[in-house]
């Protein structure tokens, strides 16, 4: 009797170095969180580019190779705290750099070439600060985070409390 084929839950992200991660954590800690809010741990702070979902584990090497796309390094300036519907607290960029939008589009084409479907909704770059925070109070201002983007990552989301693991950096 055979079970279901093994799968790996994947996403593409801008994955911060420690200095940027520390600044993101400072922003997160500046919010006033309601009881029951689920703040994102420091090691999970990132900007998602594309969510790939559960993929057959046997395809991971092919997916890794197929997602290598050239891109121009760019600066992402984060500093707008927002509360989205359904209690999602985020930090958004002041503007969406053209290079970020091009990287997102190029990765969408790479996903299609791999037979995967990118999400259809409009891309809204952000760092999730917390979930289940409908009455959170966002800081009115904070330090501008100037993040020099030199790479992106293919990340595995491990089930349960397994956290995230970067499978590959692309430069």
Overall number of domains in the chain: 1
Residue 6 inside a domain? The answer is no
Predicted model pTM: 0.93
pLDDT digits (tens, 9 = 90+) for 86-136: 999 999 999 999 999 999 999 999 999 999 999 989 999 999 999 999 999
Residue 2 inside a domain? The answer is no
Residue 138 inside a domain? The answer is yes
Residue 5 inside a domain? The answer is no
The vertex-73 CA angle with 14 and 61, nearest 5°, equals 50
Indicate which residues carry an active-site annotation: 46, 126
Residue 3 inside a domain? The answer is no
Residue 1 inside a domain? The answer is no
Name which of 95, 26, 103, 29 is nearest 68 in CA terms.
Answer: 103
Instruction: Pull the structure tokens for residue 121.
Output: 């909704």
Between residues 21 and 161, the one the model is more confident about: 21
Residues 63 and 10: beta-carbon distance below 8 Å: yes
Segments forming the whole domain that contains residue 71: 12-170
Distance, CA of 125 to chain centre: 8
Residues 113 and 70: beta-carbon distance below 8 Å: no
pLDDT digits (tens, 9 = 90+) for 8-51: 999 999 999 999 999 999 999 999 999 999 999 999 999 999 99
């Amino acid at each position: 009797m055979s079970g279901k084929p093994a799968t790996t839950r994947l996403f593409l992200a801008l994955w911060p170095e420690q200095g940027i991660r520390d600044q993101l954590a400072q922003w997160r800690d500046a919010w006033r969180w309601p009881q029951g809010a689920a703040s994102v741990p420091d090691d999970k702070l990132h900007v998602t580019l594309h969510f790939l979902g559960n993929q057959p584990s046997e395809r991971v090497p092919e997916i890794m190779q197929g997602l290598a796309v050239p891109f121009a390094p760019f600066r992402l300036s984060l500093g707008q705290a927002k509360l989205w519907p359904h209690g999602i607290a985020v930090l958004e960029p002041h503007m969406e750099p053209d290079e970020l939008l091009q990287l997102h589009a190029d990765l969408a084409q790479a996903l299609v070439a791999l037979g995967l479907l990118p999400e259809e909704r409009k891309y809204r770059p952000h760092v999730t600060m917390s979930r289940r925070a409908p009455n959170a109070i966002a800081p009115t201002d904070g330090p501008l985070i100037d993040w020099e983007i030199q790479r992106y990552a293919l990340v595995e989301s491990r089930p349960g409390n397994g956290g995230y693991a970067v499978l590959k950096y692309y430069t």
